[in-house]
Chain A
Amino acid sequence: MSGLNELTIAEARDALRKGEVTSLELTEACLAAIDAAGALNAFVHRTPEIACQRAAAADARIRAGDAPAMCGIPIGIKDLFCTKGVASQAGSNILKGFRPEYESTVSQQLADAGAVMLGKLNMDEFAMGSSNETSCYGPAVNPWRRGNDATPLSPGGSSGGSAAAVAADLCLGATGTDTGGSIRQPAAFVGITGIKPTYGRCSRWGIVAFASSLDQAGPMTRDVRDAAIMLGAMCGHDPKDSTSADLAVPDFEAALTGDIRGTRIGIPREYRMEGMPDEIEALWKRGAEMLRDAGAEIVDISLPHTKYALPAYYVVAPAEASSNLARYDGVRYGHRARLAAGDGITEMYEKTRAEGFGHEVQRRVMIGTYVLSAGFYDAYYNRARKVRALIKRDFEAVFAQGIDAILTPATPSSAFGLGEMADADPVAMYLNDVFTVTVNLAGLPGIAVPAGFDGRGLPLGLQLIGRPWDEAGLLNHAHVLERAAGFVSKPAKWW
């Protein structure tokens, strides 16, 4: 057997139930891997005591025969999730020292299922970024390299720490969150699976809010089966989140039949972007062939408003962020600036927020403030919300034609180097989300699956987009794609 920290969740679950391994052994293997992987900067707050306590409790539950699938499985939690008594900073200096008095619903559900929290994972500040470089902890580093070239690469963002940790076998799975692609883009950059469920599937309660109408939590795992298992433990109705859907949670793992005969897969022509690398185009084509070989029908479709998704997103998301982040005022939690003699409350707010927020967060808060300000609200914010309605209508039209899932590339490139985008204008970084952001705007489920490599040996992912609430069908299609692509590689260990 390979190292215990290298097991999939399904393998670990089966071994735990058979008594071949204990949760404590799994947990200790992960803690050792984390200690040896400081160079990846993935875990930014470690909780070994909590982990060992929970592992011992999980072992007792497993011995008693009361073991849900996630029982005893060591996982990492993105820093965006509030975890009781454990630092939860959303990657920001403004929440330095914050120790929540409560636990997010998603992390509580995972704990109730017996999962073992190893610590908190690095991320872009307030989940605003696509490279993990806006983090107050410094960036997480991608465990993959371009062959023998030692240039440190970005693990993507915002869930970059989650992606690096799962790809480097520091934990068996991790939570992520996705507002415009923050689960799927990093998953693609490190060769793992990440699913953003339908808006409303996972409770947002206790997750630091970025853009409330777009944010969703989801699992990041080594394969599709693990995503199905972990997602099942994360979602479900929560009275504390008024947008949480009161729907039964299907058995996602049972849906992985591998049979997709007769289903219809849409290939949206608008996703064929100018300047898209040939290898991504080729991978996309191969993905469609794999699904066709498995018995699906491939259909050309049109999503005419795709081009406007990014600009609409960069109105709606900053607008909501400017409102959500108004709470960071130096009064109730987190950082407060040192005041000069005579400073009043306005100076306290302004200095606190200038010191506590990083550059990208400040920029987005100000953009959001501008598009919501008197005189511009209609021109920007209302127009963007109308375009958003049209984007959703595009998807509804193709689903009404009988399309079951849509296949697209996950990202417009493989992982880029840390710092390589530093001189680019902000819009160049925003283009990372070009294939993923439509899914958030329409509230749909989307999954990234590793499907191949680029010429430099870096993973590339494909994205499948599903009908609302059809995560089960989506996961089954992803499972077929995963098996056909046969992506099993791991990064060569250098850290």
Chain B
Amino acid sequence: MSIDISTARKVAHLARIAVQEEDLPALAGELSAVLAFMEELNEVDVAGVEPMVSVTPMRLKRRADVVTEGGIQARILSNAPDAREGFFAVPKVVE
């Protein structure tokens, strides 16, 4: 399966990575090469095989649904590129 330019454009947008229009052909070529490598998987008979969910058979532990470390607003915001009045600030989302 090879990836054309419009698919490459769509994938870049889904991944939220800006790709210049002139870079799309090279990107499509690279993605196609990697996908061609993955095509080898089609040789394998996987009939009746369950997809692996967990590599180690384990039951995930549960814990009480309580706050373990709260009230640390300043620490949570300390690395934000733009934090105002106790919130993360972003460009306007809703018109």
Contact = CB atoms under 8 A, between A and B. Distances in A.
A264 B78 CA distance: 54
A383 B46 contact: yes
A329 interface: yes
B27 interface: yes
B49 A389 contact: yes
B51 interface: yes
Interface of B: 3, 7-8, 11-19, 27, 30-31, 33-35, 37-44, 46, 49-56, 58, 60-61, 63, 72, 75-76, 78-82, 88, 90-93
Contacts of B79: 97-101, 332-334
Interface residues of A, number: 74
B41 A383 contact: yes
Question: Considering the complex of A and B, which 7 residue pairs feature the smallest CB-CB distances, nearest first?
Answer: A385-B51, A443-B55, A333-B79, A336-B81, A350-B18, A354-B18, A386-B46
B16 A386 contact: no
A246 B88 CA distance: 37
Contact of A426 (B34, B54, B88, B90): B34
B61 A334 contact: no
B31 to A, nearest CB: 6
Nearest to A328: B16
A386 B51 contact: yes
A331 B80 contact: yes
Interface of A: 97-101, 198-200, 213-214, 239, 242-243, 245-246, 305, 307-308, 310-312, 314-315, 322, 326, 329-336, 339, 343-351, 353-354, 357, 362-363, 365-367, 369-371, 373, 380, 382-390, 392, 425-427, 430, 441-443, 468
B90 A348 contact: yes
Given A339-B91, A384-B41, A389 B58 contact: no
Most B-side CB within 10 Å, residue of A97, A339, A383: A383
B32 to A, nearest CB: 10
A370 B14 CA distance: 9
Most B-side CB within 10 Å, residue of A308, A346, A370: A370
Nearest to B51: A385
Contact of B18 (A314, A353, A386): A353
Given A330-B81, A357-B17, A362-B17, A243 B56 contact: yes
A330 B39 CA distance: 35
Nearest to A318: B34
B16 A329 contact: yes
B16 A315 contact: no
Contact of A198 (B17, B40, B42, B56): B56
Dominant SS among interface residues on chain A: helix
Contact of A245 (B27, B51, B58, B80): B58
Given A99-B79, A242-B60, A369-B11, A386 B91 contact: no
Contacts of A307: 40
A344 to B, nearest CB: 5
Given A101-B75, A335-B81, A384-B38, 17 more contacts: A199-B56, A214-B55, A239-B63, A329-B16, A331-B81, A333-B79, A336-B82, A348-B91, A351-B18, A363-B31, A367-B35, A369-B14, A373-B14, A386-B52, A390-B44, A392-B52, A427-B33
B93 A344 contact: yes
B17 A388 contact: no
Contacts of B80: 331-333
Nearest to A363: B30
Contacts of B44: 305, 308, 383, 386-387, 390
Contact of B50 (A322, A335, A389): A389
Given A366-B17, A370-B3, A370-B11, A425 B33 contact: yes
Contacts of B78: 99, 101
Contact of A350 (B16, B43, B75, B88): B16
A264 to B, nearest CB: 23
Contacts of A343: 91
Nearest to A378: B51
A345 B75 contact: no
Nearest to B75: A101
Contacts of B75: 101
Contacts of B33: 425-427
Contacts of B81: 330-331, 333-336
A387 B30 contact: no
Nearest to A393: B49
Given A363-B34, A427-B33, A468-B56, A331 B88 contact: yes
Contact of A242 (B35, B55, B61): B61
